[in-house]
Amino acid sequence: MEQFLSEVEVYAEACGVQPTTVVQRATGASGSAWSKWKSGRGSCSLATADRIRAYIAEHPPLKTQEDAA
């Protein structure tokens, strides 16, 4: 679970959004889902993790001019 949370955080930072936004866009889940996962009060299903990872793969962060240099 820690690796998954880290993946989402790294992706969110690269996109300039919050991890909750990634979860909402990928699954339609409420923003509170992320805080529950992060605090350990809940966890996502494998199907949900797969949906989020698929979303990340299909929507790579936009490259900036600094990245191209």
Q: Does residue 13 lie within any of the structural domains?
A: yes
Looking at residue 20, what is its pLDDT?
96
What is the per-residue pLDDT across 2-42, written as a single tens digit (0 to 9) for each? 999 999 999 999 999 999 999 999 999 887 999 999 999 99
Task: Give the domain extent around 39.
Answer: 2-60
Whether the pLDDT of residue 61 is over 60: the answer is: yes
Q: What's the mean pLDDT in 39-66? A: 90
Q: Does residue 22 lie within any of the structural domains?
A: yes
Domain total of the chain: 1
Q: Does residue 67 lie within any of the structural domains?
A: no
Give whole-number Cα distances, 1 to 6, 33, 42, in Å.
9, 14, 11
Q: What's the mean pLDDT in 51-55? A: 98
Please tell me the pTM assigned to this model: 0.85
Q: Does residue 56 lie within any of the structural domains?
A: yes
Q: Does residue 16 lie within any of the structural domains?
A: yes
| 63 CA to centre of own chain | 18
Q: Does residue 26 lie within any of the structural domains?
A: yes
How many Å apart are CA 60 and CA 30, to the nearest integer?
22
